[in-house]
Structure 1
Amino acid sequence: MAVYTNISRTDLENLLQDFQRGQLVDFQGIDGGIENTNYFVTLLNDSGIEEEYVLTLFEELSQEEMPYFVELTTWLADRGCPVPFPHKDTNGIALKTLHNRPALLQPRLPGQHVESLTPAHCRQIGTALGEFHQAGRDFYLQRQAHRGVFWWRRESQHIANKLADDEATLLRHEVSLFDQLREQPWQLPQGVIHGDLFFDNALFQGDQLSAILDIYNACSGYLLFDLAIVANDWCVNVDGSIDAERENALLNAYAAVRPFEDNEYLAWPQLVRTAAMRFWLSRLIPALDPNSTQKIKDPQAFKRILQYRIDHPAKLP
């Protein structure tokens, strides 16, 4: 279980006193988290009704970084995006501290994860991501990506001597290609991006999208790069190839909300490669570190996607 910080019932009851949302019934750690600790929390309100919440303790983000996410999730939720937003206590304060870690209490949004993705699922996440981007275009705060261009420049050099020569060359080449893209006078649309919208960060009720989760990689960036991250996860087959029907459903639904600009057609083939490289690298680092405490995911899955994107250049519809 990916629960890095254990809390007691007393810890939680003391925290909940500030919110006055009811009596603690039960709480349990949530499996599957990689960067944060999450607990399901059940409270009995004054009307005798049980209500479900999620308590998140942030293992990597500092207290100083958290106001961006408090403001952003509130902003997006106010504009109809299905994202969890932080509850405020009786003094109007959302950001708390528990075991020296930033903590937020949020509603538990309805729905379940899906395992078998269809074009219909991809169409819905395309629409939702377009709406997410449109809602965030005029958000008043900015944040540099935690694992963006400066990070992958540095980490690709650090890790190169642990890789086979061909892998090290491939990694450095993809980093260089993105640098070249950034030098182009294309003025690609930028704004708030989710940064990690894998299919396990979305919930569905039946066949209807009900929630977009884990906003804590959000930052300022190319909107199209965010779409590339989604395409490389929601539309991929086990062998790393791309399911054309799912990808077309995703891209057409997104474009119906935010039409592509001319230069985005030029950038797309490289951005899907860069997105694959970024997650290949972020999985390589803990996989090659014998002291890592992160949940290890197979880095070769994203190397296969990267190679497919190289061999079969992507196109926007």
Structure 2
Amino acid sequence: MAVYTSITAEELSLLLADFDLGTLIKFEGIEGGIENTNYFVDLELRGQKKSYVLTIFEELSADEMPFFIELGHWLAERNTPVPYAIKDKNGIALKQIKGKPAALQPRFYGSDVPAVKLRPIHCFQIGEALARFHLAGNDFYLKRQAHRGVFWWRRESEAIAHRLTTEDAFLLKQEVQAFDELREAELDLPSGVIHGDLFHDNALFQDDKLVAILDMYNAATAYQLYDLAIVANDWCNNADHTIDSEREQALLEGYAQIRPFTADESTAWPILTRTAAMRFWLSRLIPWLGIAQASRQGGEMKLKDPDQYKQILLQRLQHPAKLL
């Protein structure tokens, strides 16, 4: 249960008093999140009931939030189906509860597709949606460096090297170096706002139709193709950690029909699929080793087995990815 910050009806009602959205009927914690606390919030206004989502941010500070608040509004205004922070009666979107940043957002209905049920139809749609996300964010006026990007993985891979086998330490070092070399090559790789964490459980479908993209709190300014690589490694991954070529083909076709790839992106794609695998292997390794085990009020951080992404990385090395 990912409810790290417990709140009372009185505390929530005090926050809701800033809005003209109605009176509180009920609220309940949402399971499944990793980084933030989320609640479904049901309100009634003039006899009509409507549901919202309250997010309490556990890791991001108030100073970091303007990027995400502005990005949500920017994308929503450009018909991208993403949550955004609703403004109160005074035009303020970023709120606070229990001393933590918070946002009240519209609720999208649907459910994520379990990994074992993902099909090419889902991958094609998420490819289309991610390309539209990237195009909508191309001229977004704020920038943000990823908090688990190049500088982070350089530092952390070195910091944990002594805790790893010689082979694993070398593999991490090799992949960090491969990305550094890619950056130095100065290829034509479009950059802009990326989602950064578009795993299959961050997308909602209804009757096999994509209705929303959730959880943009890893968004940053980076290579758009790297964002697509993150999606490919998750959405096209089989139970044995091999890559499903049919699903990956559908993903790439969906993306390319909205934003065609540059010639240099074909060169970069096999490397970036490895980089994306390395990044999530490393971010899972750290808490798994007990080095930086994060904890929050109400519960400890959920651990995910890092071996999944190590195996995906090895697969990407043995069978280099290809663009269309």
Into which bin does the TM-score normalised by the smaller protein fall?
over 0.9
- Give the whole-Å Cα distance in 2 for the aligned partners of 1:173 and 1:4: 37
Residue 161 (structure 1) shift: 1.4
- Give the whole-Å Cα distance in 2 for the aligned partners of 1:294 and 1:158: 21
Query: Which among 300, 304, 307 is matched to residue 314 of structure 2?
Result: 307
Deviations 1:245-278 (Å, cap 9, x if unpaired)? 0000000110000000010000001000000000
Q: Find the counterpart in structure 1 of residue 22 from structure 2.
A: 22
1:49-88 maps to which residues of 2 (within 5 A)? 49-88=48-87
Q: Which amino acid aligns with 2:36?
A: N
Residue 20 (structure 1) shift: 2.2
What residue ranges of structure 2 are gaps of 5+ in the alignment? 295-299
Q: Which amino acid aligns with 1:38?
A: N
Q: Find the counterpart in structure 2 of residue 39 from structure 1.
A: 39
Deviations 1:117-171 (Å, cap 9, x if unpaired)? 0000000000000100010001111111011000111111111111111111111
Q: Find the counterpart in structure 1 of residue 297 from structure 2.
A: none
Q: Find the counterpart in structure 2 of residue 271 from structure 1.
A: 272
1:75-114 maps to which residues of 2 (within 5 A)? 75-114=74-113
Runs (4 or more) in structure 1 with deviation over 6 Å come to none
What residue ranges of structure 1 are gaps of 5+ in the alignment? none
Q: Which amino acid aligns with 1:243?
A: D
- Give the whole-Å Cα distance in 1 for the aligned partners of 2:163 and 2:8: 41
- Give the whole-Å Cα distance in 1 for the aligned partners of 2:132 and 2:310: 30
Q: Which amino acid aligns with 2:27?
A: F
- Give the whole-Å Cα distance in 2 for the aligned partners of 1:176 and 1:101: 38
Residue 61 (structure 1) shift: 0.6
- Give the whole-Å Cα distance in 1 for the aligned partners of 2:163 and 2:301: 19
Q: Find the counterpart in structure 1 of residue 157 from structure 2.
A: 156
- Give the whole-Å Cα distance in 1 for the aligned partners of 2:118 and 2:5: 33
Q: Does structure 1 residue 11 correspond to structure 2 residue 11?
A: yes
Residue 173 (structure 1) shift: 0.9
Asked if the contact 2:230/2:276 (under 8 Å) is kept, the reply is yes
1:111-150 maps to which residues of 2 (within 5 A)? 111-115=110-114, 116-150=117-151
Q: Which amino acid aligns with 1:137?
A: N
Matched residue SS, 1:257:
coil
Residue 174 (structure 1) shift: 0.6
1:285-304 maps to which residues of 2 (within 5 A)? 285-289=286-290, 291-292=293-294, 293-304=300-311
The number of equivalent residue pairs is 316
Asked if the contact 2:202/2:214 (under 8 Å) is kept, the reply is yes
1:189-208 maps to which residues of 2 (within 5 A)? 189-208=190-209
Deviations 1:22-66 (Å, cap 9, x if unpaired)? 1111111111111111111111112x1211100001111110111
Normalization by structure 2: what TM-score? 0.96
Residue 87 (structure 1) shift: 0.5
* Aligned-CA RMSD value: 0.9
- Give the whole-Å Cα distance in 1 for the aligned partners of 2:262 and 2:252: 13
Asked if the contact 2:188/2:262 (under 8 Å) is kept, the reply is no
Residue 202 (structure 1) shift: 0.2
Residue 187 (structure 1) shift: 3.2
- Give the whole-Å Cα distance in 2 for the aligned partners of 1:71 and 1:43: 25
Residue 226 (structure 1) shift: 0.2
- Give the whole-Å Cα distance in 2 for the aligned partners of 1:225 and 1:69: 20
Instruction: Calculate percent identity across the aligned residue pairs.
Output: 62
Greater displacement, 193-202 / 291-300? 291-300
Residue 185 (structure 1) shift: 2.0
Residue 298 (structure 1) shift: 1.0
Asked if the contact 2:58/2:100 (under 8 Å) is kept, the reply is yes
